[in-house]
Amino acid sequence: MGTLLFASFFSSPLWYYLLAIIAAALLIGFMLVSAIFSVWLERKVAGRIQDRLGPTRVGGKFGWLQTLADGMKLLVKEDIIPASADQMLFRVGPYIALAGSFTAFLALPFGNMLVGLDLNIAILFMLAVMSSEVFGIILIGYGSGSKWALFGGMREAAQMVSYEIPMAITVLVPVIVAGSMNLNEITLQQRGIWNWYLFHDPFTFCAFWTYFTCAMASCKRAPFDLAEAESELVAGFHTEYSGFRWLVIFMAEYGSMFAVSGIAAIMFLGGWSLGLPWELTDVFAGITGNATAGLWIGNLLNMVVFIGKCWFLVFVMMWVRWTLPRLRIDQVMMTCLKYLLPISCFLLIGVATWQLVLPPSVRTIAQLAIFGLTMLGLVLAILKLLATAKDVPGTGMPSMWQMTNVTGYQGAKQ
Amino acid sequence: MSPFTNLEPFLFWTIACITGGCAIACVVTHNIVRSATWLLFALAGTSGIFFLLGADLVGAIQLLVYVGGTMILVVFGVMLTAQGPFISMRTSSGEWAVSVAAGLLLLSVLSVAISKIGKPTPPSGSTVAQYAPKTTLAEGMTKEGETNEVASKSPYSMAIGQGFLGVGVGPAHKETVNGKETVVRASYLLPFEIVSVHLLVALIGAAYLARAKRRKEAAV
């Protein structure tokens, strides 16, 4: 009787409800944990780049629990809604932004078929829901009833509407190569590091950098963070926010950073593949002789690899943010409309011609050449880094008159 | 029908009620930006219904085009028409009468159309868990003449897309062409084009709104 009930439960719609709730809870849980980790990482990276320590105390070493302490502080903060604000829009804005960012995670595969919703048009779905995040930002900016917030919101609207176009077009470049919009299938086609679409042809190689630039702009990250330019607009669109709603805005931002990095990893960097020419779930299914066990063990590793890749790309975004100065608003718009948009259109036409005209042998040679050159460049860069790491600068920074005599940061040694 | 025995009607009615409620709120609200927000929720709810039907592509396009479109509406509605912060629009009773008449006309047309279609036959064993079948772009781009076969294999987004492009995907009926009786399938190219003309109407409407304001200023 008990087993019968159990069996009927698994075939009943109630089971689907439960599965859906578990999947959604796992996804939102991951999104929050990822945001907590990213905020801590951001502070450590910023500290490192600005020659200071960043958080050090909370949670013992490296201050790794600092974000939890921050979160606690934000939760108990007074929740202020300005008298001039539109109550409803002010309240609802951050949740629209968070919903847009979270919904993108539904279609993002973390491993072989390890995805909330396996859609045939997953990439289009992700771009569509992420573009609705900006609506929340505009409502935040408008509903605050503050000029700074309104300026920030309008800048964000202009920026997002422009950068969406080259972003979508550059995503189409690997879609043309793959012949599918299903993220799971696109990843399965990129087994083996030399098959990653980054190396597929010169156009996909350029498309990756173009996409990543647009992705950074669409997440309002510096050097494109005009919407919250604190030197001019106090804090831009979220000037009037405090406490929990402010937390939600940042959760949305870090969530969409991870999501666009996920798209970059899947479309160009082999998704969850470690670079080996085999799919891990198949390998483990062969070893254990059990398809389900193989799927679980393989996907555990796949998930680690995929999240690692995404966090690395998020780290690159932070690295860029704390290295480059902020652009002016006209420069931001010019970068998109005069450079990124034509470049992306050229890449789209280029990759279509490449696929149609060139014979497969030439394409393979080009692919291997691009792969080889990239690897060579990577090795040379690492060697150079290791070589300069040995040159420990002396105590104190080099002074001005020393700098005039030598080029670069060699002054301290002399 | 208990929600625990059949998932889809329950989800459909939930989403439909939310969508309908948001649509009513959109019409009733005086504040233009709030109204646009309700419109956004209503459009997102519509795309939710598309996803429930398994028409992923239409749902995603609905989000991409209409959410983006609403955003533009807000930006332009605010930038071009606002004189002060948080403007509210008062509608006269005449405008109410015209819009109610237009709404009822549309409702009656839709009701007649829906009653003529008849009950659709869903694919066997349809649940949310058994989602849309796997069909890749490469598979869809087979030789000409085979496309219909692919479309019939995947009764979801591809059939709709092909119908919009003029490929016959509707129910077959006999028609006399050049004195010969042939079997014809309906395509939806014309309705699709008519719908797209609506966008032009919206554009002209936006321009009219912006112009009317400026003329008033000049008179003062």
Which pLDDT score is estimated for A278? 78
Which secondary-structure segment (H or E) carries B27? helix B7-28
Last residue in a domain, options B87, B110, B132: B132
pLDDT confidence tier of residue A117, bands split at 50, 70 and 90 = confident
ipTM of this complex > 0.85? no
Q: To the nearest whole angstrom, how far is the Cα of A135 from the nearest Cα of chain B?
A: 6
Most confident of A102-111, B116-125, B172-181: A102-111
A273-308 b/e (C-beta count within 10 Å ≥ 16 → b): bbeeeebbbbebbeeeeeeeebbbbbbebbbebbbe
Give the residue with greater pLDDT, A234 vs A371: A371
Cβ-based neighbour number of residue A358 at 10 Å: 14
Chains A, B: CB contacts under 8 A, how many? 103
pLDDT of B28 higher than 90 = no
For residues B81 and B178, state if they share a domain: no
Chain B residues touching A139 at Cβ < 8 A: 33, 37
Which pLDDT score is estimated for A208? 92
For residues B54 and B77, state if they share a domain: yes
The proportion of chain B whose per-residue pLDDT surpasses 90, expressed as a percent, equals 7
Which pLDDT score is estimated for A70? 83
Chain B residues touching A86 at Cβ < 8 A: 31, 33-34, 86
Distance CA A312, CA B132 (A): 33
Tens digits of per-residue pLDDT, B112-161?
A: 888 877 666 555 544 443 444 444 334 444 334 444 444 444 445 566 67
Separation in Å, CA A162 to CA A132, A154, B68, B199: 14, 12, 12, 20
Which pLDDT score is estimated for B205? 78
* Domain span at B92: 1-132
Tens digits of per-residue pLDDT, A182-238?
A: 888 888 888 888 888 888 888 999 999 999 999 988 888 778 877 777 777 777 788
Tens digits of per-residue pLDDT, A252-303?
A: 888 888 999 999 999 998 888 887 777 777 777 778 777 777 788 888 888 8
Last residue in a domain, options B108, B132, B156: B132
Domain count, chain B: 2
Q: A77: Cβ–Cβ under 8 A, 6 or more apart, which residues? A: A242, A243, A244
Which pLDDT score is estimated for B121? 59
User: How wide is the angle at C-alpha A168 spanned by C-alphas A329 and A209, nearest 5°?
Assistant: 70
pLDDT confidence tier of residue A324, bands split at 50, 70 and 90 = confident
Tens digits of per-residue pLDDT, A9-57?
A: 666 667 777 877 888 888 888 888 888 888 888 888 888 888 887 787 7
Which pLDDT score is estimated for B150? 43
Last residue in a domain, options B105, B132, B159: B132
For residues B84 and B139, state if they share a domain: no
For residues B116 and B62, state if they share a domain: yes
Residues of A in CB contact (< 8 Å) with B are: 12-14, 16-17, 19, 84, 86, 88-89, 92, 96, 117-121, 124-125, 127-129, 131-132, 134-135, 138-139, 142-143, 145, 154, 157, 161, 164, 175, 179-182, 185
pLDDT of A122 higher than 70 = yes
For residues B29 and B2, state if they share a domain: yes
Listed in order, strand segments (DSSP E) in chain B are: 172-177, 180-185
Domain count, chain A: 1
Chain A residues touching B138 at Cβ < 8 A: 179-180
Q: To the nearest whole angstrom, how far is the Cα of A283 from the nearest Cα of chain B?
A: 24
For residues B35 and B67, state if they share a domain: yes
CATH of the domain at B98: 1.20.120.1200
pLDDT confidence tier of residue B29, bands split at 50, 70 and 90 = confident
For residues B180 and B218, state if they share a domain: yes
Q: To the nearest whole angstrom, how far is the Cα of B28 from the nearest Cα of chain A?
A: 15
Q: Give the sign of the dihedral formed by CA A297, CA A301, CA A302, CA A307.
A: positive
pLDDT of A340 higher than 80 = yes
Give the residue with greater pLDDT, A98 vs B3: A98
Which pLDDT score is estimated for A393? 57
Distance CA A371, CA A193 (A): 9
The proportion of chain A whose per-residue pLDDT surpasses 90, expressed as a percent, equals 13
Distance CA B169, CA B159 (A): 6
* Domain span at A176: 80-383
Arithmetic mean of pLDDT, B104-114: 90
Give the residue with greater pLDDT, B21 vs B28: B21
Q: What does A39-87 look like in DSSP terms, one character per residue? A: HHHHHHHHHHHTTS----STTSGGGTTHHHHHHHHHHHS-----TTS-H
Which pLDDT score is estimated for B20? 92
Average confidence score pLDDT of chain A: 82
Give the residue with greater pLDDT, A388 vs A102: A102
